[in-house]
């Protein structure tokens, strides 16, 4: 999470990023300009929201004239890895999936073998996993399990 995402669009686009996800909490005043700039650099725009932010905050960004293509629901507070998954955030995922059946919905924070089924069954089709993969003796097995759970839930 950065405080001025506009400053990062150009360098990330030049570096070859395919997507750019910004936090709704820091982009309320300029999200339309931000989405336009992200697209102009050939990247796919997405929006993230922290656990304390109501899901309704992202609806205008999904429904707007120039909409984001993905919503990232944070299940931990952004900042550092290894935090505990907040299952109550799955209500946000369910609300998004019901309202936007074809939207890409990503979940980030505390995801691993014990939590993936909650996220996948709630409607998440994109998963971010850090500690559970990189801390595993066999990361490929964890990745396979996460992928299988999401694929079976769709």
Confidence (pLDDT) at 130:
87
pLDDT in tens, 87-138: 999 999 999 999 999 999 999 988 999 999 999 999 999 999 888 999 999 9
- Any idea what the Cα angle at residue 59 is, between residues 53 and 61, rounded to 5°? 100
- Domain segments of the chain: what residues? 1-68, 70-154
- Is CATH 3.20.20.70 correct for 70-154? yes
pLDDT in tens, 20-52: 999 999 988 899 999 999 999 999 999 999 999
Q: Which helix (H) or strand (E) element contains residue 30? A: none
Answer whether 31's CB lies under 8 Å from 9's CB. no
Which pTM was predicted?
0.92
Answer whether 40's CB lies under 8 Å from 18's CB. no
């Amino acid at each position: 999470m950065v405080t001025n995402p506009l400053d990062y669009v150009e360098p990330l686009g030049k570096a070859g990023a395919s997507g750019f996800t910004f936090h709704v909490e820091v982009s309320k005043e300029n999200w339309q300009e931000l989405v336009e700039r992200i697209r102009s650099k050939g990247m796919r725009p997405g929006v993230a929201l922290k656990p304390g932010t109501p899901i309704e905050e992202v609806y205008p960004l999904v429904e707007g004239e120039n909409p984001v293509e993905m919503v990232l629901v944070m299940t931990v507070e952004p900042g550092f890895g290894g935090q505990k998954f907040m299952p109550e955030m799955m209500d946000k995922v369910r609300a998004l999936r019901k309202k936007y059946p074809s939207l890409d919905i990503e979940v980030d924070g505390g995801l691993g073998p014990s939590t993936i089924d909650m996220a996948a069954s709630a409607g998440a089709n994109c998963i971010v996993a850090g500690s559970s993969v990189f801390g595993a003796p066999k990361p490929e097995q964890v990745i396979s399990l996460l992928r299988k759970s999401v694929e079976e839930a769709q």
